[in-house]
Amino acid sequence: MPRPTAPPSGVVVQVMATGMCRSDWHAWAGHDDIAFPHVPGHELAGVVSEVGRGVESWTVGDRVTVPFVCGCGRCEWCLAGAAQVCPAQQQPGFTHWGSFAEHVALHAADTNLVAIPDEVDFATAASLGCRFATAYRALVGRARVTDGEWVTVVGSGGVGLSVVMIARALGARVVAVDRNPEALAVATALGAEHTLLADGSDIPAAVAELSGGGSHVAVDAVGSEQTCADSILSLRRRGRQVQVGLLPPVAGHPRVPMARVIAWELDLLGSHGMAATDYPAMMQLIQQGLLEPQRLVERTIGLDEAAALLPRFDHSPVAGMTIVDPSR
Ligand SMILES: [Zn+2]
Ligand SMILES: [Zn+2]
pLDDT tens digits for 31-63?
888 888 999 999 999 999 999 999 999 999 999
Which ligand number lies closest to the CA of residue 81?
1
Query: Which residues crowd ion ligand 1, with CB under 5 Å?
Result: 71-72, 75, 78, 86
Q: What's the pTM value of the predicted model, to 2 decimals? A: 0.91
- In 3D space, the residue among 280, 14, 275 whose CA is nearest the CA of residue 122 turns out to be 14
Q: How far is the CA of 125 from the centre of ligand 2 (A)?
A: 13
Distance 126 CA to ligand 2 centre (A): 10
Digitized pLDDT (tens) for each residue of the chain, 328 residues in all: 899 999 999 999 999 999 998 889 988 988 888 888 999 999 999 999 999 999 999 999 999 999 999 999 999 999 999 999 999 999 999 999 999 999 999 999 999 999 999 999 999 999 998 889 999 999 999 999 999 999 999 999 889 999 999 999 999 999 999 999 999 999 999 999 999 999 999 999 999 999 999 999 999 999 999 999 999 999 999 999 999 998 877 667 889 999 999 999 999 999 999 999 999 999 999 999 999 999 989 899 999 999 999 999 887 666 778 999 999 9
Which ligand lies nearest the alpha carbon of 162?
2
Predicted pLDDT of residue 248: 75
Instruction: List helix spans (H) across 29-87.
Output: 76-79
Ligand 1 centroid from CA 172, angstroms = 34
Ligand sitting nearest the alpha carbon of 72: 1
Distance 25 CA to ligand 1 centre (A): 26
Q: Which ligand does the CA of 24 lie closest to?
A: 2
| Strand pairing report for 194-197 and 267-270 | unpaired
Q: Which ligand is nearest to the CA of 80?
A: 1
pLDDT of residue 251: 66
Q: pLDDT by residue (tens digit) across 238-296?
A: 999 999 998 877 667 889 999 999 999 999 999 999 999 999 999 999 999 999 999 98
Q: Which ligand is nearest to the CA of 78?
A: 1
What are the C-alpha distances in Å from 80 to residues 65, 73, 112, 135? 21, 10, 13, 21
DSSP code at position 117: P
Ligand 2 centre to CA of 256 (Å) is 24
Alpha-carbon distance 204 to 292, whole Å? 30
What is the average pLDDT value for the chain, to the nearest integer? 94
pLDDT for the residue numbered 30? 85
**Alpha-carbon gap, residue 322 to 318, rounded angstroms:** 8
Q: How far is the CA of 23 from the centre of ligand 1 (A)?
A: 22
Angle between helix 181-189 and helix 158-169 axes, rounded to 10 deg: 20
Of all helices (H) and strands (E), which one includes residue 242? strand 235-243
C-alpha of residue 21 to centroid of ligand 2, in Å: 5
pLDDT at 166: 97
Listed residue (278, 239, 280, 310) closest to 120, CA to CA: 280
The ligand with the least distance to the CA atom of 27 is 2
Distance 106 CA to ligand 1 centre (A): 14
Q: Which ligand is nearest to the CA of 108?
A: 1
The rounded Å distance from CA 23 to ligand 2 centre is 5
What pLDDT is recorded for position 252? 76
Task: Report DSSP state, residue 137.
Answer: I
How far away, in angstroms, is 117 Cα from ligand 1 center? Answer: 26
